[in-house]
Amino acid sequence: MSAFYHRCRYFFLPLFFTSLLLAVTQYSLPKLQTWHSVIEQLPFWLLPVVMIIALQFNRSRLAYLALLLLAYCYFLDQSSSTTLFDRYPQQIFLAGIFTVTWFAFIKDRGLLSAHGVVRILGVLLCFAAAFAWIWGNTQYKSAIDNYLPSMITMEIRTLAPFYLGAMLVFVRGIWQANLVNTAIFITLALWAIHSLMPELLSVSVSITALAIVYILTVLTDSYFLAYRDELTGLASRRALYNLVLSLGRKYSVAMLDIDHFKKFNDTYGHDVGDQVLKLVASKISQVRGGGKAFRYGGEEFTIVFSRKDTSSILHFLEEVREIIEDYDITLRNEQRKQQTKAKRGKAQSQSKTVNVTISIGVSEHQHGETFEQTLKKADQALYRAKKKGRNQVCV
């Protein structure tokens, strides 16, 4: 999976769908008066569900955010605390920004573990920092005004942590594109919209939307975890056996194995081996002829061609084998990062190009055969390809 495709899938797509969800809700809400009271109550029902699901799947940051949002909704609902929010709107806003930004950079480590105590202290610290920031800016206003250019107004200074936080969380979301980071960025965006432009987005709509985003994030993430191979991004063996359930009588299976990979690992190290596995996997996933690629395990891959006989797919497998054989893999110099620019040119000329090959065994499903039997035949064909000298396709 290319980096751009990865970022679109995990960052821009969820962002787009959340905006769409909000736009549709905001647009249709005035027409659906009866839904108003339901939507107002929804955060109180959805956020506890988010917490349970997030904890079940070890997504404690989302569980914490759901808990904080629930507390926020609860206090908003109490008329006695409304005055608190009215009195300290900037502080509450900044405390939320500090908390969400901090959450973007920590790991999921359980809710009730020792880390839980640190999280609670951290949230309290975020509140203290927000109050301190506003207090400092008000208390030393004239001194700061003298020191900074006049264009940096009090308002800009007050919102500075928000600009910085938004930038950090955005970069984090793009750099390390995954659904949880995107959900955290969406939280920051909605919190800012809700606090700075309350007339644009009501609190119950934004928090309901967030709760839906959290639930979808946790469920989709867990699906990927179960059915995607983390290293290569290919579908996993579990996904292969899921596909088997929907296969008809006619299909072909190919088993692919990188040649002499142990030697490759021993020569260049396991990390380089991992990079090569990723590259080989990306080439295998581009197989034509309707083949669906899976990482079977280790350096073994499987391709399933539904509704195809062996003779019609050999050409496509041969094509994959050739693409991998001809692909020059450049091994970067390990010390490159620490080198000065001048030295890098020299290092570039030292960087090495290597090639790997794969062997492929193919078999076609026969009447009365189980998938495992067809797979075993493909494995035996792979063994023959290895015996015959590797880097070839055997039926």
Ligand X SMILES: Nc1nc2c(ncn2[C@@H]2O[C@H](COP(=O)(O)OP(=O)(O)OP(=O)(O)O)[C@@H](O)[C@H]2O)c(=O)[nH]1
Binding site for ligand X (CB under 6 A): 231, 257-263, 265, 270, 273-274, 277, 298-299, 386, 390
Provide, rounded to whole angstroms, the least separation between the CB of residue 289 and ligand X.
25
- Amino acid in position 330: T
The owner of tokens 């999921």 is 108
Give 274 or 372: the residue with its C-beta nearer to ligand X. Answer: 274
Provide, rounded to whole angstroms, the least separation between the CB of residue 329 and ligand X.
13
Give 7 or 260: the residue with its C-beta nearer to ligand X. Answer: 260
Give 166 or 360: the residue with its C-beta nearer to ligand X. Answer: 360
Provide, rounded to whole angstroms, the least separation between the CB of residue 258 and ligand X.
6
Give 315 or 387: the residue with its C-beta nearer to ligand X. Answer: 387
Distance (Å) of CA 9 to CA 16, 74, 211, 254: 10, 34, 20, 28
Give 172 or 237: the residue with its C-beta nearer to ligand X. Answer: 237
Provide, rounded to whole angstroms, the least separation between the CB of residue 7 and ligand X.
24
Give 29 or 272: the residue with its C-beta nearer to ligand X. Answer: 272
Provide, rounded to whole angstroms, the least separation between the CB of residue 293 and ligand X.
16
Give 110 or 297: the residue with its C-beta nearer to ligand X. Answer: 297
Provide, rounded to whole angstroms, the least separation between the CB of residue 257 and ligand X.
5
Provide, rounded to whole angstroms, the least separation between the CB of residue 357 and ligand X.
9
Give 179 or 375: the residue with its C-beta nearer to ligand X. Answer: 375
CA distance 323 to 167: 41
Provide, rounded to whole angstroms, the least separation between the CB of residue 384 and ligand X.
12
Which residue minimizes CB distance to ligand X? 273
Provide, rounded to whole angstroms, the least separation between the CB of residue 260 and ligand X.
5
Give 273 or 361: the residue with its C-beta nearer to ligand X. Answer: 273
CA distance 21 to 370: 45
